[in-house]
A and B are shown apart, each in its own frame.
Chain A
Amino acid sequence: MSKDHKDRELPDRSEDDKRAFKRELTDVVPHLRAFARGLCGRPDMADDLVQETLLKAWAAQERFEPGTSMRAWTFVILRNAYLTDMRRNRFRGDYDDNVAERILIAPAGQEEPLHLSDLHRALLTLPPERREALLLVGAGGFSYEEAANICRCAVGTIKSRVGRARAALSSMIEEGDIPDRSIHDPSAHRAILEELDDVAAGRGKAEATR
């Protein structure tokens, strides 16, 4: 693993570098909030997660390489914090209807507007590694390569996760069948935690479980 380079010589940061870091970190906050909201569903918990991410990013700022993507770098931190918190049972995939309910997708000529709340609920029923892959590529606009770097997996794995997530969402939405997997079903919750163990261990076995 490449994450522990504690002995690596880190370049001294100038005051300009530090100011630039702070500016970039500030700029990326809205994206962190959006990613976190997509991951864990509840705005208050998502914002807690972002605050945790900002503190960790600040503490680790010397590890950030100026000129690289602050968004990608902080997303890795956020993702790791999310996985840790999730395994501690902090997030239960709760969902706040009020946030998305007021927004409808109603493209011109569309007869049956798709509720964003349905979409978000459907998203939250996906296994976490597929959800994050879809969020990164489909919502965050990351390339497959960037998403693979963030998730520490192969590009092919990300492509496969995005493909499966898309297929699952399409099918749920087309059939109007959005399972309430994440909120009230204890066995489903246990399954999610088991998947998270796999994700956290880098095994990525969850791919074949659903």
Chain B
Amino acid sequence: MSPILGIWASQNYPRITNSYESIATVNVTSNTATIEFTSIPSTFKHLQIRYIARDTSASAGADDMFMKFNAGASATYSWHRLEGNGTTASANGSGTEGHISLSAAAISRGGNASGIFSSGVIDILDYQNTNKNTTARALYGSERNGSGSMLLSSGNWYGSTNAVTSIAFTAENANSFVQYSQFALYGIRG
């Protein structure tokens, strides 16, 4: 018989770390077409976005989420993804897009059972470096008890070497993010 080990959170005091800081959080309270972080400080080495999301689509399933840097800037993006949809593993991508697409399952659709939200973590690496194109990677998924997908993806903003100062997210088919969706932006010092 193996023992069960219980650990009380209160037994350990939080250890303060200053290398990972919260920059801003968007808690969606009503239908919102675009989630945007602006005036991102230049004091960090990397950025991380952690989110849960659901949109206004009336059907079941999941939607793509589009990520764009420095809204309004002329830009070209590419992306690739590796997906497991519960049956097969597959890959897809595009080299000429107006955004990085977190495709297939980044946002749970509003037609799914109440309470189902997609979840993801997006890393934007070396976002201040003006000598190279900014790249991003993401781990995200949508699980709906009988359907769903898990994905790893990468994206590149090859149209610019500008430092990233803003990040905008939109949903496929001009759907809006619904209440309780949450996007939190963090900075990681180098």
Q: Do these two chains really belong together in a complex?
A: no
Binding site for B on A (CB under 8 A): none
